[in-house]
Structure 1
């Protein structure tokens, strides 16, 4: 089940405010979706995710197929009960992970043959297999199996002919994914994925074909795969607003806070990226006023929180009152610098909580700006504050 209702549009851009209703709940968009590759968002409990406002999270079909496997997942009735998350879940198709295996895999029209990165077993992933695994996961949003078109391979930039060949196979796989999804009588929603590399006319061909197949929602794939930022932004500006206005649009694997705000302006409703948690584990924190490197020695004795305007647990403690508003219960930069230098696991846990809260709160502010008819002003202020620096 999926229903999508656009509540407000921004006259100065393609941005819109909407609600997305799925089998496990309602999602307010635009939204950022935390990534839980192995059935968990690294270092963050489900209770913390709910407290910080997460409405929908991701699971990874490929990795959950490897471990714990289909039989275990079926015994729990799907991923929700297994990981104790009662809100919506989106699962990717496994296509990106298979693509990332490089020489360990062989792609054919039928599907992908590859060696398991876990134990070396010979395995086969096809559109039909992906649909069967995702049906067992009982994810609210299922993604078609596609071939992720690389920007370059071993220094060779993908040509138009290569991008076309990849896109056309993804289009055929979309048809097969839909047929198997329907055969399985999956009660959830299947999204098609627009491919076409860095070529707008190929993106349009892919888009037109998928719209004719009438998916409940659509994603833009094959971006953030090594291309220069200006190339990604060019495709982001071209594709989303050309998708049906009455259906949700998802930009896969993107990205920075700036990417999210500009993606919303281009008409995107849904985002995901590993960046908040990955950067947290590497000591990089996102703040309203730019990125903060907690490993820098200048933070060794700094009593301030990561972000004086933030109300996350790392910055405000249980009070939920920011430093700027008089709260003093959060953890200092000095303490979080100390945790990182000592390799204490609390360090990346607090950093992950902060980064995810920042992303989710950013989307909350975007929704509020759209509701107030002030998205243009918000967009300008956002970029000015981020450029100011910490």
Structure 2
């Protein structure tokens, strides 16, 4: 009898002897993700301005979409009619859907939270939308992504310890309800650690979520307005508390120093809107720096944006041309810079993985130094 491997699994292939950094392979029904890896954000089943083929060419292996926004438009029934999210957006690789928990934080002005769930006032037509753990699971089942995130409450910053503790209690109770209602085969459920900036609550949340023994575990509630030093402290505290045999996902983080710090603490997956948002505003990530292509210093610069980068912006165009596109408001400039920025984060992920395998991660990336040779040799 032939052996059929399970649809999900996580294999650690290399470790850094001086940090918690590791390389891994996260196996899903739609392919394997080599970690550490940055996941581009495709909120509405699209990474803004980028086709699926262009996205794959950047080195992206897994993409994130959003339950709340796809429920509003076009609706999960339309996506299901199309054969699921993969076919709907023409992305053949692994997909992850956020549960809408982040919108509990970001849309706080138009929602009401209680133990049952969250009532939103639709920004489209004003109707009330009730999102519960059960509803979030049902929507994500209809969307059909490889990974569904548990519905959680992400408290704002700053918040009192009492308020954050209440949010943690709801998050853990909602996780149990997500587990009870999650029925789709071939879809993994990830739990989310919350706790704000309070070490006791972070430790308790990590312990409770890890005890659920789900296929993966995420840390949320960071990069929500807290000082960067607080983010670093949370990552250093929580990383070592997560189950070693599961993929660790740090939600909403995509800046280079923070990714390097998190990889050193054992994190494997990251997502952020940063690369395309920067691209739409005329900014490029080059050698760990952010360059504003509107700047007049690029007007007569006929060299590639980054000579070592394989993206279309760098291989086919010059800084002067990109400067012209951005100053002229041309759509192509925003697309090219978005592709470049996504490629940069994929190359950075790959460079960290290579350093782990070669035994030099601690020297080159922990902490990441923008002046080190590794910062310029992706």
TM-score under structure 2 length normalisation: 0.95
Shift of 1:306: 1.6
Q: Which residue of 1 aligns with 2:3?
A: none
Cα distance in 2 between the residues matched to 1:132 and 1:388: 43
Partner residue in 1 for 2:21: 15
SS in 1 for 2:33: strand
In structure 2, the partner of 1:256 is: 255
Question: What secondary structure sits across from 1:117 in the alignment?
Answer: coil
Is the aligned partner of 1:131 residue 2:99?
no
Describe the shift of the 1:126–1:305 C-alpha distance in structure 2 as closer, same or farther (beyond 3 A): same
Report the equivalent of 2:223: 224
The DSSP-based 3-state class of the residue aligned with 2:69 is: helix
Q: 2:101 aligns with which of 95, 99, 102?
A: 95
- The answer to whether 1:81 aligns with 2:78 is no
Alpha-carbon distance, 1:70 to partner: 1.9
- Once superposed, what is the RMSD of the aligned Cα atoms? 1.6
Question: Are the aligned partners of 1:223 and 1:232 in contact in 2 as well (CA < 8 Å)?
Answer: yes
Partner of 2:286: 287
Give the match for residue 238 of structure 2. Answer: 239
Structure 2 counterpart of 1:362: 348
Question: 1:298 maps to which residue?
Answer: 297
User: Counterpart of 2:234 in 1: which secondary structure?
Assistant: helix
SS of residue in 1 equivalent to 2:105: helix
Give distance in 1, aligned partners of 2:185 and 2:173. Answer: 20
1:239 aligns to what SS in structure 2? Answer: helix
Any unmatched runs of 5+ in structure 2? Answer: 1-6
**SS in structure 1 of the partner of residue 285 of structure 2:** strand
Aligned counterpart for 2:40 among listed residues 34, 54, 62: 34
Q: Distance in 1 between matches of 2:269 and 2:222?
A: 14
Work out the CA distance in 2 between the residues paired with 1:69 and 1:98.
Answer: 19
Distance 2:207 2:31 in 1: 30
- The alpha carbon displacement at 1:308 in A equals 2.4
Q: Which residue number corresponds to residue 345 of structure 1?
A: 331
Aligned runs of 1:1-390 on 2, under 5 Å?
A: 1-152=7-158, 158-181=159-182, 184-316=183-315, 330-379=316-365, 382-385=369-372
Q: Distance in 1 between matches of 2:76 and 2:154?
A: 24
1:162-202 C-alpha deviation (Å, 9 max, x unpaired)? 11111111110110011110xx2432100000000001111
The secondary structure found in structure 2 opposite 1:47 is helix
The more displaced of 221-230 and 211-220 is 211-220
| Cα distance in 2 for residues equivalent to 1:97 and 1:163 | 16
What secondary structure, in the 3-state scheme, does the structure 1 residue paired with 2:152 have? coil
Post-superposition Cα deviations, 1:274-306, rounded to whole Å, max 9, x if no partner, equal 001101111221111522111111111111222
Instruction: Kindly state the Cα deviation for residue 381 of structure 1 after the two structures are TM-superposed.
Output: 7.1
Q: Is the 8 A contact 1:34 1:57 kept in 2?
A: yes
* In 2: Cα distance, 1:71 partner to 1:185 partner: 15
CA distance in 2, matches of 1:53, 1:315: 15
Residue 269 of structure 1 and its aligned partner are, at CA, apart by 0.3
- For residues 373 and 110 of structure 2, the distance between their equivalents in structure 1, rounded to whole angstroms, comes to 41
Counterpart Cα distance in 2 of 1:388 and 1:69: 42
Instruction: Give 1:385 deviation, angstroms.
Output: 4.4
Deviation >2 Å, runs of 4+ = 184-187, 380-383, 385-389
For the 8 Å contact 1:98–1:105, the answer to whether it is kept is yes
Q: How many residues align?
A: 369
Q: Is the 8 Å Cα contact of residues 193 and 206 (structure 2) preserved in structure 1?
A: yes
Separation of aligned partners in 1, 2:215 and 2:76: 26
CA distance in 2, matches of 1:166, 1:388: 39
Q: What runs of 5+ residues in structure 1 fail to find an aligned partner? A: 153-157, 317-329
Relative distance call for 1:377 and 1:90 in structure 2 (3 A) is: same
